[in-house]
Structure 1
Amino acid sequence: MIFDIIKEPFFGVSSIAFCAVLCFYVITCFQWFSYKASRVLFHFTRPLWHLVFVIIPLVLYYTSGNWFFIYFYFAYLPSVILWHKKLDKKLVFTARIKRFFAFFGVAVLSLNLFNYLKFENFSKDMISPIIISLIISHFFEKFMAFKYKKQAKNRLDENKNLQIILITASYGKTSIKNFLFALLKDDFNVHKTPRSVNTLVGIIKDINENISQKTQIYIAEAGARQSGDIAEISTFLNQQIVVVGEIGAQHIEYFKTLENIRATKLEALQTNRLKMAFLHSSTQKNESENIKIYDKNLSDIVATLDGLNFTLDNMPYFSPLLGKFNAFNLACCIEVAKFLGVDNDRIKSRLLGLENVEHRLVKMQANGKIIIDDSFNGNFAGMSQSYELVGQYRGRKVLVTPGIVEASVELNERLSRVIDEIFDMLIITSPLNAQALLKHIKNAQIVILKDKNKMQEILIEHTKTGDLVLFSNDAPSFM
């Protein structure tokens, strides 16, 4: 009798709980992939997760009746909790996510209220509340973006003397941005986009929060996942100075061809206020009155574990930065600083104080080992150059890497050849490229890391005093 009284509320509340857990999984995936439904549905790197956490549970919910809730409470819910606990990139409860869950709550309550008014049981529709919430959230965020975009544009227009520098590249954007900021900050009131913010939404937010009438130079980083992304940012900023760094096969799965990548990056030139553009030779553009190929006169690059020497326009330079590729990043920054009137002696002095960008060839000592953190370096050119740099070390060399993320199998197979020539041990941290990385490994000892939470234990077990350990690139656990 008592069970008959409570069973309907129990099963109803449990259904709502199941819907909420499904919603939590879905919105986590959407946040990872910038709220792009096509990427979550068609470019998801762990499709088995969709099967385990969405498809199978829904099939069981609609076919097994009330027996489903034994599975829900004793299998599904614990598995989702464990899954989330092991993620290295958990759901971040931003203002957008909080608004989304508010929309979801209203959708669930509305559907159940509608059923109640029809004298029916709790709603068994697990899909509609999530889809409705995603659609409402999408259009609400579009409205908010339009509002904030207009506000940011007004802020830019009010600062008549503001010079805007737009930086884009297949890789190295953040390093160029940070190095250029260091060369300019003592002569100008300069602001740069924070961290790796490189989307129009992120730039708009940054402008509204940080650009003032006192700002003289704004350095903005621009990234892209599809054609038109850079053009959208360029049209909005209408920058006077453009930097297009090296073009490579990063994100080739989205662009399909290198030429599509090149054309997208060169959308940065779509501005009617262009004073000067500094382009890498890989852009395949010719020099002109307002276009300079910044690595044309770069030579004599010598990279060691102590720093970097190079010659630019017949002038020698030194920086304690690690990595041959940083000579190209610095060449670009030097050319821009000179264009803005910074004296060459000041530039040389400031180069001496530069530090590698966080997670980009940062060298440290720990327990008698040399640790080099290059976990934000994710392209073939940069990674292979860092391996050549490490190759100068005479002791035992250990590589920790997932390979090149969002790149072709061929590139990862090429990388495996370089790895085998240099390293004594390879620790693979993701199954994403494991097969390609193992293709040409004949000399290096191989360790497969199945759980990134066990990283410290694996390093303690497999490394020793005197080793050099290089963390090369990183892949979040959903990759």
Structure 2
Amino acid sequence: MITNVLLLIALLLWLRRFIFQTTYFIHILQLEGYRNGRFISWLIKNPKKIFDEECLISSVVILFIGLFLESFGIELVFFLILWIFVGIWLFRRCKRLPYKKPLVWTGRIKRLFGLSIILPCFLLGFIFYSSPLMLLFFFISQIIIQTASIFLVLANTFLYPLESAINYYFFLCARKKIRRIGPKVIGIAGSYGKTSTKFIIFDILSKKYKTITTPESYNTLMGICKVINNELKKEHEIFVVEMGAYKRGDIKELCNLVRPQIGVLTSIGPEHFERFGSMEKIISTEFELIEALPKDGIAFVNTDDEILLGLMDRIKIEKHSYSIKDCEEIDIDKDGIKFKIKGEIYNTKLLGLNNLKNILAGITVGLELGVDIEKIKDAVSSLDFIPHRLQLIKNPNNVFVLDDSYNSNPVGADCALNVLSLFSKRRKIIVTPGMIELGKKEYEENKEFGKKIGKTCDIVFLVGRKRTKPIFDGLKSVDFPQNKIFITNSLNEARIRLERIVRSNDIILFENDLPDNYDEDFLSILQTNYWVHIWFPSRWDKNISL
């Protein structure tokens, strides 16, 4: 009786550790879009994050002690007590992780979590009733804890038919609703600039029409279905839809849902090159938007982009281009942009050449859809910063923050540095993990980024020692002082160290902020005291010149 009670307590304590591991991996799976292939690829790239080192080492020690006790005929009750004490220690080590983007407990996540726990519990129960050997039972239970990621993949596979059926139901509901209401749909696709262009077009068209758009960066099939099912009303005349893609056919699938009459192509670049594998696949995927437009549809294309300029001849329907070359005058400074096009003068507080291109897209679409020119000018002048996209934040202590942390690409990073350089009287600091998913071009693009940083910034924070090596190499190549470089393991650590040196009249550029599945230091929080990383600074702290 006592043995069974002790065994139950031990199992519950170690189950808590398994749940802790499973929750972490479910979060990663959610960030990877619930795709087993991408999740397994992440595991392969991060093999050290698969195993719970504390739990593994503890298990080996307990197992050897158990074998020792058994060899001397000592009752296994002492083994179970040790198992419980170690389980309590591991329980106390389970601390909430500082997620950048918290796990969203959707219905799908709850089902996945439940099955991921039930599968190993069922297996443990079967083994318990099949084998009287306590040490064997302990050994297998520890293997299960170390293979939480495998059980998650199995659970995701088993649930795939159910989740596909649920998603298809929501898809049918959304398709039926949007067909019934029949708004004019504007699709926006491109490697970058989609979200900013979307909000600018929305603000301009809202001056004349009842307009709705997808919030934040909603650009997936289920995200758009959610907006249609929950927010689209019969009074809406225009629906502005951002369309994202990670593989061929993604944009075509979105177009099958919303049937756009107008398409806007913002850019073609190497962003997500790693997922697509070639520029040809990126081009053909983004061009799916234009191919989906009806014969009486209208295409709007950014012809400042050389690739898009080369695609103009392939567009057989009505088409319009927009380009900064159309501007008669352009004045860009730290307070915003003033420009003149077709005799009309526009002002905006948005920063950088990329935002000017996005505004030109909005103006071109607005004019084509009959929005009064004065209303367009009013909309442009009242445009607010889009969060995390060259967003200027002025703090009371006279420290400015240029938040460009949503994502990064070679064009966007170059634009951000150009904007930073406009603040000539301020000390310029950059915090960046670099650019990702650029495939074979990643090293060279980041090294070039490092060179540009070295010519623009006074102090550099590199987030992720391994990932930012190309940037560091670029900084070295332009003789940037190494005693003005911080190298940190996480953005959290960078922010805390930044607080120690920041002073009035500084401007800080946050260029890119990678999700948790790219954070080099993230899982180490599971295995060590996180605050040790923060309060015991690296050698760079002592060497930096302020």
Go from structure 1 to structure 2 and tell me whether the alpha carbon gap of 1:99 and 1:204 turns closer, same or farther (over 3 Å shift): same
Mapped pair 1:240 → 2:261: yes
Deviates more, 1:20-29 or 1:252-261: 20-29
Which position in structure 2 is the counterpart of 1:399? 430
Match of 1:73 among 87, 96, 114: 87
Deviates more, 1:42-51 or 1:342-351: 42-51
Counterparts of 1:227 and 1:63 in 2: how far apart (Å)? 50
Deviates more, 1:387-396 or 1:417-426: 387-396
Mapped pair 1:25 → 2:24: yes
* Structure 1: gaps (5+ residues): none
Which position in structure 2 is the counterpart of 1:229? 250
User: After superposition, where does 1:56-455 map in structure 2 within 5 Å?
Assistant: 57=56, 64=63, 69=83, 73=87, 81-82=94-95, 84-108=96-120, 110-111=122-123, 124=141, 126=144, 130-160=152-182, 162-271=183-292, 273=294, 275-281=297-303, 282=305, 283=308, 284-286=310-312, 289-295=317-323, 297-299=325-327, 300-313=329-342, 315-366=344-395, 367-393=397-423, 394-407=425-438, 408-431=442-465, 433-441=467-475, 442-443=479-480, 445-455=484-494
Secondary structure of 1:469's match?
Answer: strand
Deviates more, 1:212-221 or 1:112-121: 112-121
Deviates more, 1:306-315 or 1:221-230: 306-315
Q: Is the 8 A contact 2:188 2:265 kept in 1?
A: yes
Go from structure 1 to structure 2 and tell me whether the alpha carbon gap of 1:59 and 1:293 turns closer, same or farther (over 3 Å shift): farther
Go from structure 1 to structure 2 and tell me whether the alpha carbon gap of 1:63 and 1:85 turns closer, same or farther (over 3 Å shift): same
Cα deviation for residue 143 of structure 1 reads 1.1
Go from structure 1 to structure 2 and tell me whether the alpha carbon gap of 1:132 and 1:476 turns closer, same or farther (over 3 Å shift): closer
Task: Note the alpha carbon deviations across 1:364-392, whole angstroms, 9 max, x for none.
Answer: 22212222222125111112112112212
Cα deviation for residue 8 of structure 1 reads 3.4
- One-letter amino acid of the counterpart of residue 209, structure 2: F
Cα deviation for residue 440 of structure 1 reads 2.3
Cα deviation for residue 213 of structure 1 reads 1.4
Cα deviation for residue 204 of structure 1 reads 0.8
* Structure 2: gaps (5+ residues): 67-78, 519-546
Which position in structure 1 is the counterpart of 2:70? none
Which position in structure 1 is the counterpart of 2:75? none
Q: Is the 8 A contact 1:166 1:243 kept in 2?
A: yes
- One-letter amino acid of the counterpart of residue 447, structure 1: F
Go from structure 1 to structure 2 and tell me whether the alpha carbon gap of 1:409 and 1:154 turns closer, same or farther (over 3 Å shift): same
- One-letter amino acid of the counterpart of residue 274, structure 2: E
User: After superposition, where does 1:456-471 map in structure 2 within 5 Å?
Assistant: 456-471=495-510
**TM-score, length basis structure 2:** 0.79
Task: Note the alpha carbon deviations across 1:317-342, whole angstroms, 9 max, x for none.
Answer: 32221111111111111111111110
Q: Is the 8 A contact 2:16 2:91 kept in 1?
A: no
Q: Is the 8 A contact 2:431 2:494 kept in 1?
A: no
Q: Is the 8 A contact 1:301 1:324 kept in 2?
A: no
Q: Is the 8 A contact 2:433 2:464 kept in 1?
A: yes
Deviates more, 1:327-336 or 1:462-471: 462-471
Secondary structure of 1:382's match?
Answer: helix
Secondary structure of 1:225's match?
Answer: coil
Secondary structure of 1:91's match?
Answer: coil
Q: Is the 8 A contact 1:430 1:477 kept in 2?
A: no
Max Rg structure: 2
Cα deviation for residue 456 of structure 1 reads 4.0
Deviates more, 1:169-178 or 1:33-42: 33-42
Q: Is the 8 A contact 1:301 1:327 kept in 2?
A: no
Counterparts of 2:331 and 2:90 in 1: how far apart (Å)? 56
Go from structure 1 to structure 2 and tell me whether the alpha carbon gap of 1:181 and 1:15 turns closer, same or farther (over 3 Å shift): same
After TM superposition, the runs of 4+ consecutive aligned structure 1 residues lying more than 4 A away are: 58-63, 65-72, 74-79, 108-125
Secondary structure of 1:438's match?
Answer: helix
Secondary structure of 1:363's match?
Answer: strand
Q: In proportion to residue count, which structure has more helix?
A: 2
Counterparts of 1:404 and 1:130 in 2: how far apart (Å)? 29
Q: Is the 8 A contact 1:297 1:312 kept in 2?
A: no
CA RMSD of aligned residues (A): 3.0
Cα deviation for residue 18 of structure 1 reads 4.5
- One-letter amino acid of the counterpart of residue 311, structure 2: K
Secondary structure of 1:143's match?
Answer: helix
Go from structure 1 to structure 2 and tell me whether the alpha carbon gap of 1:348 and 1:109 turns closer, same or farther (over 3 Å shift): same
Deviates more, 1:129-138 or 1:229-238: 129-138
- One-letter amino acid of the counterpart of residue 148, structure 1: F
Cα deviation for residue 145 of structure 1 reads 0.4
Secondary structure of 1:239's match?
Answer: coil
Task: Note the alpha carbon deviations across 1:391-415, whole angstroms, 9 max, x for none.
Answer: 1222311111111232311111111
Go from structure 1 to structure 2 and tell me whether the alpha carbon gap of 1:5 and 1:245 turns closer, same or farther (over 3 Å shift): closer
Secondary structure of 1:6's match?
Answer: helix
Cα deviation for residue 19 of structure 1 reads 3.8
Which position in structure 1 is the counterpart of 2:69? none
Secondary structure of 2:460's match?
Answer: strand
- One-letter amino acid of the counterpart of residue 326, structure 2: L
Counterparts of 1:11 and 1:337 in 2: how far apart (Å)? 66
Secondary structure of 1:310's match?
Answer: strand
Mapped pair 1:52 → 2:27: no
Counterparts of 2:274 and 2:289 in 1: how far apart (Å)? 21
Go from structure 1 to structure 2 and tell me whether the alpha carbon gap of 1:17 and 1:459 turns closer, same or farther (over 3 Å shift): closer
Cα deviation for residue 297 of structure 1 reads 4.5
- One-letter amino acid of the counterpart of residue 385, structure 1: C
- One-letter amino acid of the counterpart of residue 470, structure 1: L
Go from structure 1 to structure 2 and tell me whether the alpha carbon gap of 1:213 and 1:236 turns closer, same or farther (over 3 Å shift): same
Secondary structure of 2:312's match?
Answer: coil
Counterparts of 1:167 and 1:422 in 2: how far apart (Å)? 33
Q: Is the 8 A contact 1:400 1:427 kept in 2?
A: yes
- One-letter amino acid of the counterpart of residue 436, structure 1: P
- One-letter amino acid of the counterpart of residue 97, structure 2: K
Go from structure 1 to structure 2 and tell me whether the alpha carbon gap of 1:259 and 1:311 turns closer, same or farther (over 3 Å shift): farther
Cα deviation for residue 46 of structure 1 reads 6.1
Q: Is the 8 A contact 1:374 1:470 kept in 2?
A: yes
Go from structure 1 to structure 2 and tell me whether the alpha carbon gap of 1:424 and 1:143 turns closer, same or farther (over 3 Å shift): same
Counterparts of 2:326 and 2:83 in 1: how far apart (Å)? 67
Q: Is the 8 A contact 2:10 2:84 kept in 1?
A: no
- One-letter amino acid of the counterpart of residue 443, structure 1: F
Secondary structure of 1:400's match?
Answer: strand
Counterparts of 1:267 and 1:59 in 2: how far apart (Å)? 54
